[in-house]
Amino acid sequence: MARAATTADAFNAVAEPRRREILDALTQGERPVNELVDLLGLAQPHVSRHLRVLREVGAVVVRDEGRQRLYRLNPQALKPIHDWVASYQHLWEERFDLLEDVLEDLKEEH
Amino acid sequence: MARAATTADAFNAVAEPRRREILDALTQGERPVNELVDLLGLAQPHVSRHLRVLREVGAVVVRDEGRQRLYRLNPQALKPIHDWVASYQHLWEERFDLLEDVLEDLKEEH
DNA sequence: CCAATGCATATCCATATGGGTATATAATCG
DNA sequence: CGATTATATACCCATATGGATATGCATTGG
């Protein structure tokens, strides 16, 4: 078995930096493909394929407008990722709490 | 160019479900390889290689203990992922508000 | 010191990637 | 209707994946 398809889930889709760039660009609002091509400095077919992947995992939705296709962000698709990492957040934040506790103790000793 | 290496960054490393399982298991604390093998039901060489990937992106750290190697979670490595998705969080939380606005508009048009 | 235990590494294979380039399709303009 | 614009798809290629299996290398126990 090879590596999971990039379209397998949001985790795989978003592992590609260019696709994150596309999503980042779409936070500003709906955009046609050509605008993304300019923004990313990638070849058009390449952008189209990245968009396909993002569409397949539900991270973006398309809308036809004349001969353009407007892509829009669908942020919900990223929620599973957020939920997963969020469960680790307290683990790296604990260090600060510990530090604070120590500082608190030091202050009280004064 | 092929897909980015799984060891390229935390995003790629964590795109593999088995590796997320390993990290999840390590939230309970340090574990030797064999324990992870049992927990995941994977072949030992396979687990070792997943651990290598996780080590290379800094998501875990190893410690030698006799003839065992104890792996420990290094949650900080996941922070970049958290930071990235977190910037999208308000977008999916806003949707409900937007939906309400649209419904409100539709009602008024009647 | 030799056998056993615990891991890591090497090799083989099928697969899908992302890049490039060429081409197909759809819509609009003159 | 033909030409142009905007996208999508089809190929070709090099690469690295994840699974399987075999083997190498330490450390420990008898």
Q: Indicate the number of domains in chain B.
A: 1
The answer to whether residue A3 is domain-embedded is no
pLDDT tens digit sequence for B57-68: 999 999 999 999
- Could you tell me the two tokens for A98? 């510990």
Nearest Cα residue in chain B from A10: B15
Distances (CA, A) of B105 to A49, A72, B92, B102, B109: 36, 21, 21, 5, 6
Contacts of B7 (CB under 8 A, 6+ apart): B13, B53, B56, B57
The answer to whether residue A48 is domain-embedded is yes
A68 with A106: CB under 8 angstroms? no
Which of A17, A78, A92 is opposite residue B85, by nearest beta carbon? A78
Q: For position B91, which CATH number holds? A: 1.10.10.10
A19 with A50: CB under 8 angstroms? yes
The answer to whether residue A103 is domain-embedded is yes
The answer to whether residue B2 is domain-embedded is no
A71 with A51: CB under 8 angstroms? yes
What is the four-CA torsion angle of B12, A9, A50, A52, rounded to 10 degrees?
A: 170
Nearest Cα residue in chain B from A11: B15
The answer to whether residue B5 is domain-embedded is no
A96 with A107: CB under 8 angstroms? no
Between these two residues, A105 and B27, which has the higher pLDDT value?
Answer: B27
pLDDT at B106: 66
- Could you tell me the two tokens for B33? 């390889």
* Structural domain of A75: 10-109
Contacting residues 63-82/A vs strand D (CB within 7 A): 67-70
The answer to whether residue B1 is domain-embedded is no
| Confidence grade of residue A1 (pLDDT, cut at 50, 70, 90) | confident
pLDDT tens digit sequence for A57-99: 999 999 999 999 999 999 999 999 999 999 999 999 876 666 6
When pLDDT is averaged across residues B35-57 and rounded to a whole number, the result is 95
Exposure of B66 by Cβ count < 10 A (0-12 exposed, 13-18 middle, 19+ buried)?
Answer: exposed
C-alpha to C-alpha distance for A105 and A57, rounded to whole angstroms: 49
Hey, is A72 helix, strand or coil? strand
From chain B, the residues in CB contact with A81 under 8 A are: 81, 85
The answer to whether residue A85 is domain-embedded is yes
| Confidence grade of residue B86 (pLDDT, cut at 50, 70, 90) | very high
Q: How far is CA A97 from the centre of its chain?
A: 28
Is the CB of B2 within 7 Å of strand D? Answer: yes
CB contact under 8 A, A91 and B75: yes
The answer to whether residue A45 is domain-embedded is yes
pLDDT tens digit sequence for A5-47: 999 999 999 999 999 999 999 999 999 999 999 999 999 999 9
In the predicted model, is pLDDT for residue B87 greater than 90? yes
Arithmetic mean of pLDDT over chain B: 90
- Could you tell me the two tokens for B35? 């324990």
